[in-house]
Structure 1
């Protein structure tokens, strides 16, 4: 009896601790949250990769492998100091050549307010219910509203159910499905993720994180065979790029058959889509230099692949690109076994493919911080940056603008749609900017590199603007050198011209900043020289916001010496048009 009373007492002691946690089910968010999935309307409430109607159409192995959650992710915001993930899977926890953390584990990354990614290590337990626990999560430097998170799901297992736990007094908000066009990857076990140590180290997922585009992983272990039945489903996705990486599953086919399969696959996609197609050769075997049989098989399949590409080029099929084994250049220690890459090999393949894709999609990286695109979340108490991006994409798709003005909070809080609670110059916007057909592409606290990300992610795509006005750079003050700011603007202007080749582009000089008027004056001289050298138009309306002594005219600002008020906007609007 005493033992029973003691057990009951201990249970009561632990009840309050259990009650302090709340659990969030992604399937109950009220909107689609499974990223990188495809077929969302049909399978958005599951952790699978092909819809039910594929059963019986694709081969049985492909169907079974499509139940695995390879490449899928959940994005959310949270201010929690501790996060737990618990879930169950459908199959075995590991394989002889791949650990539980890769086969069945999850991976969590945080993204801070400056867009920097951080790997979150969590203690884990692989039982009937798998758990990951992330402790002692710090604070963001700008605010107390936590971080953006990306949770990557198991590579070689199905997920039955999953919940994310946070302390009772914390907040978690799921991020809706990205509206951006994805990259679609069709491949083998290597594409699916064998033999990564953890989900985010699959080469396909490394690529997804580097490019920050949705990437639908249709890698099927042992079954990436360029099957027309699988390509039929791939063709249902309007992608920005299609990657075919199936050669590692075709060495046992006749050379002529491999060539025919590759040509047919490209033509099948081209029947419905004009987006670029990237063909990738077999990356090789770890023992190809010591096993002559393996070397012959490798050379045969890649010879067939090259013949296919040459025939495609001869036939004039546009937008088809190619990566060779030599370009992939997997290092000697880049394999776990004869063919599956280690994390080192996966990183190498991802790096090479990324470089090729950046050439294909015209999304280069520069050498300065101002030329490397990143997101930001510096003032979520004012607005959510990603939510505004989603709204902007919808706005320009449904209402193609005649003109756009790109900028930071000075632009964002001027007026127009999507609306913000701050409208520092609403009257001028309504009288001047709206009649001129301007769409507001300003985001509070943006820097040059944040605008570059937005340009790379669709805000200038799909329409021809008669005019683009660029008013960015003031938030790089004090963080970047004058040269980095000027070169960042040059790089950004090139990206804008690539997407709006026929439009008039005007660059607005940096507006006055309290106590930094001389710096503004000097850098605007450099900006003007660069802009005119590159063949763009420059205007410097900020001089109208200065007093005769060259100091900021405080009566034309809202009180911070940076953001114009209604009278300030009235003075500069004419030169901005």
Structure 2
């Protein structure tokens, strides 16, 4: 039969195909695996895992049991971070396994989850529309950026919790940009556990408790949770001991509750911890079984988790008795799951995941000495307010410190950042004064433009003072908090920073520099500095007052020493260097 198509129909078809092609051309696509540097986060063996979205290296296949190996091919805890200013972001990927489970939604098993971090370090969740076909697609539309600068946000995409990703592309609008963030050099928090650690039964990847910790604390997290297979085996502890970890978390009791012999739990705990301690001095956190929701209606259920927790507690107490260093313990009561915190009495719902994460975050902050406060000035966070790449500079500092241990550190904001010294900045306003002051000394510039006290706190908590012993540290911070915080909040934050620096660098000579005079704020800064000086005098730090060298007879800022009423010029840095020279 002959089918006739009218001229009008042909025209409409051509217009449709043309518009479809235009829509397709509106996006540019990037494959995370094709980047110059590794960008897949949450893995401990980056070089051995290139080109994959798996969690254990190939060498482990012959060492671990097959069910555990198969689970390691699932992408729990993995993520990809990137900068973009696109109003729409598309994710398309191929997942090999089943899409969902009876007790866990498709969005958790096989979905992805996108979060944004704005220029002030605040976290933002992104809602996406999804389609689960042979190729899974997520579309995040209507994305807006508060400041309108066009510089966009930092994004982190969390991958499926219970599926294996074989291919992925991220698309942004043609006129937008996407720049992937390399994997951080920071030491990770390493989780070894069960299905609960892997992420069952979170409704979406961002709600797995390990990923909540990642989002809240911003520490890298390696998730080695294996559903039904967290059994504290020697082979896994051998792999764990290869990781240069900041903290090991051992949360295996839910898979040990049915152990017929409590000696198995006791001995595997001791053997595992001793194996870690033989190669690492990282703290180890042992975690009790969190219990079951029906324990008050079933004595059998209650006794099963107690049978696991009792030998674990005994092993912990013996480790402490034997003076094994940095061993910590998290109890069932510390975790404190509420009655409705589980899906089927075993695996946490999103509510349970949040309660898990909250208890862990409290304990991790205690172990790592990461204090905070009630005001914004004392809550550690990132920032991206200046044109330079703040995160990249942080990574430069970590790299520089690891390769060339500094004698002297200059910690601060743009006043320090744009003075001179390494890591090098495009702008150096006092290079001659810097080189004269620090000639022959290894000095690292830990100044970051637009930093406030909370941003410096974040940087210190994330490794900038770790792995070396400095002789001298200068701290100059607080001026960028003046328009956001009260005097009391600024003082409290500087005090917290001083305490934190002393904790990280106990042998260094610490100098706290008062806020520099600032045009129109001289009186307020004078009050803050006076109180700061009184407080510092009661500590082992030394207060430095630069104000007399930078003001005129009327007590106002000497404009000839500054470029803009805030930042010193070459002459101003010469005055500063002259004062600091007497402390070196």
Which TM bucket (shorter chain)? over 0.9
Query: Are 2:517 and 1:545 aligned?
Result: no
Q: Deviations over 1:216-244 (max 9, x none)?
A: 00000000000111111111111011110
Query: Do the aligned partners of 2:422 and 2:443 also contact (CA within 8 Å) in 1?
Result: no
Range that drifts further, 307-316 or 88-97: 307-316
Distance 2:148 2:273 in 1: 48
How has the CA–CA distance of structure 1 residues 434 and 476 changed in structure 2, closer, same or farther, with 3 Å as cutoff?
Answer: farther
Distance apart, 1:142 and its partner CA: 7.2
Query: Are 2:77 and 1:74 aligned?
Result: no
Distance 1:165 1:106 in 2: 14
Match of 1:135 among 141, 147, 162: 141
2:113 aligns with 107
Match of 1:562 among 552, 562, 566: 566
Q: How many residues align?
A: 574
Match of 1:245 among 251, 267, 270: 251
Distance apart, 1:542 and its partner CA: 2.5
| Deviation >6 Å, runs of 4+ | none
Query: Are 2:285 and 1:278 aligned?
Result: yes
Provide the secondary structure at the position in 2 that maps to 1:251: coil
Distance apart, 1:535 and its partner CA: 3.1
1:363-374 aligned at under 5 Å gives the runs 363-374=370-381
1:32 aligns with 38
TM-score under structure 1 normalisation? 0.97
2:5 aligns with 2
Provide the secondary structure at the position in 1 that maps to 2:384: coil
1:16-415 aligned at under 5 Å gives the runs 16-141=22-147, 143-253=149-259, 254-379=261-386, 381=387, 383-415=388-420
Range that drifts further, 118-127 or 488-497: 118-127
Distance 1:212 1:143 in 2: 25
Distance 2:209 2:367 in 1: 19
Distance apart, 1:354 and its partner CA: 1.2
Distance 1:85 1:144 in 2: 22
Distance 1:245 1:326 in 2: 15
Distance 2:103 2:449 in 1: 48
Query: Do the aligned partners of 2:423 and 2:444 also contact (CA within 8 Å) in 1?
Result: no
Distance apart, 1:8 and its partner CA: 4.1
Distance apart, 1:143 and its partner CA: 2.8
Provide the secondary structure at the position in 1 that maps to 2:470: coil
Query: Are 2:480 and 1:475 aligned?
Result: yes
Q: Deviations over 1:6-27 (max 9, x none)?
A: 4344212211111111111101
Provide the secondary structure at the position in 1 that maps to 2:537: helix
Distance apart, 1:506 and its partner CA: 0.6
Q: Deviations over 1:327-374 (max 9, x none)?
A: 111000110112101111111111111111111111122222111110
Distance 2:470 2:60 in 1: 41
Provide the secondary structure at the position in 2 that maps to 1:458: helix
Query: Do the aligned partners of 1:143 and 1:378 also contact (CA within 8 Å) in 2?
Result: no
Query: Do the aligned partners of 2:515 and 2:525 also contact (CA within 8 Å) in 1?
Result: yes
Distance 2:209 2:24 in 1: 38
Provide the secondary structure at the position in 1 that maps to 2:463: coil
1:465 aligns with 470
Distance apart, 1:272 and its partner CA: 1.1
Distance apart, 1:436 and its partner CA: 4.6
Query: Are 2:430 and 1:425 aligned?
Result: yes
Distance 2:89 2:458 in 1: 29
Provide the secondary structure at the position in 2 that maps to 1:485: helix
Query: Do the aligned partners of 1:416 and 1:434 also contact (CA within 8 Å) in 2?
Result: no
Q: Deviations over 1:124-174 (max 9, x none)?
A: 111211111111211242732100001100000011111111111100000
RMSD, aligned CA = 1.3
TM-score under structure 2 normalisation? 0.96
Query: Do the aligned partners of 1:140 and 1:146 also contact (CA within 8 Å) in 2?
Result: no
Structure 1: gaps of 5 or more residues: none
2:579 aligns with 575
